[in-house]
């Protein structure tokens, strides 16, 4: 018989004291979540944007399992990703083995892993096996042990990730930083704390996430098969910042032979306050039962989803649409076709919801297997070309024709020095060669469109 998991979700109040959010039941065919009375009275943000305490009260939030979503979409991000490179998955598999628990691939193993690492994950939810585990976790002594830049930890990671050998020792990783929580995505990464590099030189030392007086970051670690990706990501983060986008601070470093990019977590406020965060994918998957992947929506239908979200959240829908489209245009002009629905998130609960800062803007078209213009499909009209579709989308996302033209001119100006900067980077030639074709082509298409558009309107 399939197992039933009875677990619990906790969070923290503004003063950082723990509070139980509610009870969670996960069965093969549904997820049920019931808010605790304490939480309902607290006015704190709900489990997910489409699962607000205001809408559900003491009624169970129910999600019926379907393909790709064995549990409520908001909780999917706590499960370690599938990739062979997933550090957490391998550390947890080893730990489960030690505990004598099965590691057979499947949801039950995945959920056991999530239960080991459900605290301090992205956002404001902390998943625990039960209330006793939760209380113990919140009362734990806060370790400030630093993993130095020359420790066995980095050596073990390096052997696996950079040199592609099999010497990776999950025990070493677990021993140093424990079962750290998961962050989604394809690139290997760890959620850790570092010394704030803004206040001195960061020497590559890391501590467990949530260490007092340290900065919580996502530490992305460059794998051999995506050599240069972090250098390119850093350039694009900086480019977006210069263009006036909200962008987290980030630091690119070489640590004991590994290239890493530390990105400040924007789901943490001052003194480690927890900010709710949910991907666009999670919101759509909760609201639309036929959604399985990016291919089940279109760029044309996303504004409608933002409008619907605006009905249950304090989201400035008009501003969010325009901002989303502006990011899309920047992605186009920088050679990034990978602005998928997990590369955009919402911050804040149902009150004061905003689009998250820009993250993961790496120009993935530099790799042939990711050379797609738009991860979210575009529904072309008969005979329509790419530039015209981009123009039509601009109007659909709320720009007037004149506003759109201004926006494109601005985006072209914001990215004018991009290719030159890219060519000056210490990266491999094949990446440069691909982007040296893709980027000017995109610029030319947009410039031509501006000229023909101007002609048309006289
Ligand atoms: N600075 C940040 N603060 C908080 N959460 C973040 C931050 N950066 C990323 N995230 C979260 O972590 C997830 C993975 O991060 P990211 O997209 O950078 O990884 P990736 O491996 O490059 O992804 P992909 O598979 O799209 O290439 C994101 O979907 C987002 O939910
Ligand atoms: Mg991503």
CATH number at residue 296: 1.10.1070.20
Asked whether the beta carbons of 168 and 157 are under 8 A apart, the reply is: yes
Give 255 or 282, the one with higher predicted confidence.
282
- Ramachandran bin of 68, using left for φ above 0, alpha for ψ from -120 to 50, beta for the remaining angles: left
Q: What is the pLDDT of residue 457?
A: 47
436 shares a domain with 293: yes
Residue 106 counted as domain residue: no
Mean pLDDT of 136-149: 79
CA of 340 to the centre of ligand 2 (A): 8
**What is this structure's pTM?**
0.95
The pLDDT of residue 87 is 79
264 Cα: distance to centroid of ligand 1 (angstroms)? 11
pLDDT at 185 over 70: yes
Q: Is 420 helix (H, G, I), strand (E, B) or coil?
A: helix
| C-alpha distances in Å from residue 12, one per residue of 43, 69, 126, 139, 271 | 12, 27, 9, 13, 12
* 3-state class (DSSP) for residue 328: helix
Do residue 401 and residue 420 come from a single domain? yes
Tell me the pLDDT band of 166, cut-offs 50, 70 and 90. low
Region 69-86 average pLDDT = 88
Considering the domain architecture, whether residues 323 and 443 belong to the same structural domain is answered as: yes
Answer yes or no: do 164 and 134 share one domain: no
Please give the residue range of the domain that contains residue 345. 276-456
Per-residue pLDDT at 73 exceeds 50: yes
202 plus 280 within the same structural domain = no
Examine residue 50 and state whether it is found in any structural domain, yes or no: yes
Residue 119 to residue 121: CA distance in whole angstroms: 5
Decide: 249 and 373 in contact? Cβ < 8 Å: no
194 DSSP β-pair partners: 215
Using alpha carbons, list the distances in angstroms from residue 34 to 56, 107, 123, 327, 384: 9, 22, 19, 37, 49
Protein residue with its CA nearest to atom 20 in ligand 1: 185
Grade residue 456 by pLDDT with cuts at 50, 70 and 90.
low
The pLDDT of residue 454: 59
Q: Looking at ligand 1, which atom is closest to the CA of residue 77?
A: 31
Of 245, 270, 295, which one is at a domain's C-terminal end? 270
Task: Choose which residue among 210, 343, 348, 367 to substitute to test ligand 1 binding: the one with the highest number of ligand atoms within 8 A of its C-beta.
Answer: 343
Distance separating alpha carbons of residues 400 and 410, to the nearest angstrom: 15
Three-state SS across 120-188? CCCCCCEEECCHHHHHHHHCCCCCCCCECCCCHHHHHHHHHHCCCCCCCCHHHHHHHHCCCCCCCCCCC
User: Could you tell me if residue 281 is left (phi over 0), alpha (psi between -120 and 50 degrees) or otherwise beta?
Assistant: alpha
Whether 110 is covered by a domain: the verdict is no
Last residue of a domain, one of 243, 270, 297: 270
Res. 160 pLDDT band, cuts 50 70 90 = low
Q: What is the pLDDT of residues 35-69, one digit of tens each?
A: 999 999 999 999 999 999 999 999 999 999 999 99
Ligand 1, CB within 6 Å, residue ranges: 122, 183-187, 218, 248, 263-267, 279, 338, 342-343, 345, 359-360
In a domain? residue 302: yes
Residue to substitute in 185, 217, 355 for testing ligand 1 pocket (most ligand atoms within 8 angstroms of CB): 185
Interval between CA 377 and ligand 1 midpoint (Å): 21
Whether residues 35 and 161 fall in one domain: no
Same domain for 431 and 344, yes or no, is yes
Cα 425 to chain centroid distance, Å, stands at 25
Average pLDDT over residues 361-377: 96
266 and 299 co-located in one domain: no
Alpha carbon of residue 314 to chain centroid: 22
In a domain, 96, yes or no: no
Nearest CA to ligand 1 atom 26: 185
Instruction: Tell whether 367 is covered by a domain.
Output: yes
**Is residue 90 situated within a structural domain?**
no
Q: What is the pLDDT of residues 404-425, one digit of tens each?
A: 999 999 999 999 999 999 999 9
Which atom of ligand 1 is least distant from the CA of 267? Answer: 4
**CA 132 to ligand 1 centroid distance, Å:** 31
Is residue 223 situated within a structural domain?
A: yes
CA 248 to ligand 1: nearest atom: 1
Distance 108 CA to ligand 2 centre (A): 25
Q: How confident is the model at residue 173 (pLDDT cuts 50, 70, 90)?
A: confident
Paired with 221 in beta bridges are 260
Whole-angstrom CA distances from 315 to 47, 265, 299, 350 are 17, 21, 19, 8
Domain termination site, one of 244, 270, 296 = 270
pLDDT(458) > 50: no
Task: Report whether pLDDT(311) > 60.
Answer: yes
Total domain count for the chain? 3
Centroid of ligand 2 to alpha carbon of 451 (angstroms): 34
Within this chain, do residues 350 and 426 fall inside the same structural domain, yes or no? yes
Q: Domain check: are 286 and 181 in the same one?
A: no
As a whole number, the mean pLDDT across the chain is 91
Same domain, 265 and 280: no
Instruction: Indicate if 307 and 452 belong to the same structural domain.
Output: yes
Angle between helical axes of 170-177 and 87-98 (0-180°, round to 10): 90
Residue labelled with tokens 């100006």: 413
* Residue 3 CA, ligand 1 centroid: distance in Å: 31
| Helix (H) / strand (E) containing 437 | helix 429-456
């Amino acid at each position: 018989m399939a197992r039933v998991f009875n677990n619990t979700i906790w969070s923290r109040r503004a003063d950082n004291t723990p509070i139980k959010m509610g009870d969670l039941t996960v069965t093969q065919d549904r997820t049920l979540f019931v808010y605790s009375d304490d939480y309902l009275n607290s006015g704190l943000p709900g489990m997910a944007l489409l699962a607000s305490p205001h809408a559900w009260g003491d009624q169970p939030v129910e999600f019926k399992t379907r393909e790709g979503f064995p549990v409520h979409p908001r909780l999917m991000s706590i499960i370690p990703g599938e990739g062979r490179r997933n550090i957490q998955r391998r550390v947890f598999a080893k730990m489960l083995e030690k505990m004598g628990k099965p590691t057979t691939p499947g949801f039950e193993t995945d959920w056991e892993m999530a239960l080991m690492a459900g605290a301090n994950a992205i956002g404001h939810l902390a998943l625990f096996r039960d209330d006793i585990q939760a209380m113990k976790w919140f009362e734990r002594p806060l370790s400030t042990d630093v993993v130095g830049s020359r420790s066995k930890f980095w050596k073990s990671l390096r052997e696996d990730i950079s040199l592609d050998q099999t010497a990776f020792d999950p025990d070493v990783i677990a021993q140093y930083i424990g079962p750290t929580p998961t962050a989604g995505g394809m690139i290997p990464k760890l959620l850790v704390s570092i010394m704030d590099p803004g206040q001195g030189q960061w020497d590559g030392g890391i501590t467990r996430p949530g260490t007092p007086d340290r900065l919580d970051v996502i530490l992305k670690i460059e794998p051999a098969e995506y050599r240069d990706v972090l250098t390119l990501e850093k350039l694009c983060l900086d480019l977006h910042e210069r263009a006036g986008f909200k962008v987290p601070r980030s630091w690119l470093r070489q640590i004991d032979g590994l290239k890493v990019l530390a990105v400040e977590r924007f789901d943490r406020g001052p003194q480690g306050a927890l900010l709710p965060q949910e991907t666009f994918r999670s919101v759509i998957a909760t609201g639309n039962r036929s959604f399985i992947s990016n291919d089940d929506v279109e760029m044309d239908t996303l504004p409608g989803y933002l409008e619907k979200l605006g009905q249950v959240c304090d989201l400035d829908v008009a501003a969010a649409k325009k901002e989303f489209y502006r990011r899309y245009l920047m992605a186009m002009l920088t050679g990034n076709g990978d602005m998928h629905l997990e590369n955009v998130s919402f911050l804040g609960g149902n009150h004061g919801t905003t689009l998250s800062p820009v993250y993961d803007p790496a120009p993935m078209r530099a790799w042939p297997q990711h050379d797609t213009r738009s991860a979210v499909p575009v529904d072309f009209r008969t005979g329509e070309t790419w530039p015209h579709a981009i123009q039509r989308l601009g109007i659909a996302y709320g720009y007037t024709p004149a506003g759109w033209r201004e926006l494109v001119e601005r985006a072209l100006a914001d990215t004018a020095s991009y290719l030159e900067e890219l060519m000056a980077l210490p990266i491999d030639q094949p990446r440069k060669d691909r982007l040296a074709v893709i980027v000017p082509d995109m610029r030319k298409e947009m410039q031509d469109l501006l000229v023909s558009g101007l002609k048309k309107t006289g």
